[in-house]
Structures are given as C-alpha cells and as structure tokens.
Amino acid sequence: MNISYQVKSIVPRVRDHRGYSNMIFDISVFIDFVDSETNSTVGYQLYHKFDTEIKYTKKNPFISFEEFTEEQVNSLIETLIGEEKVGGQITLQEWAENRFADIYTQPVPKLFTFQIPTITESVGIGSSPVL
C-alpha cells in the first residue's frame, strides 16, 4: 500500500467570548486517505476543541478568526494530524493502513457467468441496421 492523504474540508466554529471577537471554539477537518496502488479512498473526520478559557499574554496573544493566515491554518492542521491517536492508541497513518487492509480482506460481490448480460450491438435511435 502507498497511502497519502488530502484535506478535503476545514470547518472552524467561532463566536464572541469573554470580550474577544470571533474566537475559534473548535474545528473539524475532513481528510481523505488514498491508496495510490488501488485508488481506494477512506475518509476520516478529525475534531479538535480549543481551550477558550486560556489567559492570553504577549507571548501567547489572542488571534481572532480573521487574523489566521493560510500558513497558520495549514501548520495547525499538520500538527493535529500528527498528534491524532485513533482510539488513543494508533496514528492516523496506522489507522488508514489497518482500514485499507480490512477493506481488502472483505468478500466482494461477483456474478455467475449465467448472470452476466450478453452484449448485443445496439442500433441507434432513428436508424436501421445496414443489410
């Protein structure tokens, strides 16, 4: 397996709180893991709740939703993905590998040969076969 991931959606939830405007309370990140050998995909939703009661200082200033840059958001997402432990035990990469392995060992539907429809050459609408 050769597994990579793509962030498909980032959904922060914000509100005014403790005198701060547009404080981010939590964030959901939707991720697709892709096995490039089979082009199979499995999804994962990562959820993170921020500490909204923290005391902000000059070293740790409050950043409102509007002030976050794309680089900061990407860095945050990479950190959350790296720190996520599924079931408190395994990394997201290990989870994806296990999930794909499980999917690949499941039985798949298959038709008997007598169930496979025979393909006949169709004639287009408004035309007749050439004799």
Q: What is the mean pLDDT of residues 41-58?
A: 95
Q: How many domains does the chain have?
A: 1
Domain assignment of residue 86, yes or no: yes
- Phi/psi of residue 63, each to 5°? -120, 120
Domain assignment of residue 121, yes or no: no
pLDDT at 1 over 90: no
Domain assignment of residue 122, yes or no: no
Domain assignment of residue 127, yes or no: no
Domain assignment of residue 29, yes or no: yes
SS3 109: coil
**pLDDT score recorded for residue 118:** 73
**pLDDT score recorded for residue 16:** 96
* Residue 123 pLDDT level (bands cut at 50, 70, 90): low
Going from the C-alpha of 111 to that of each of 12, 83, 103, the distances in angstroms are 46, 44, 20
Domain assignment of residue 128, yes or no: no
* Residue 116 pLDDT level (bands cut at 50, 70, 90): confident
pLDDT in tens, 18-30: 999 999 999 999 9
Structural domain of 61: 3-113
Domain assignment of residue 77, yes or no: yes
Cα separation, 91 vs 84, in Å, equals 6
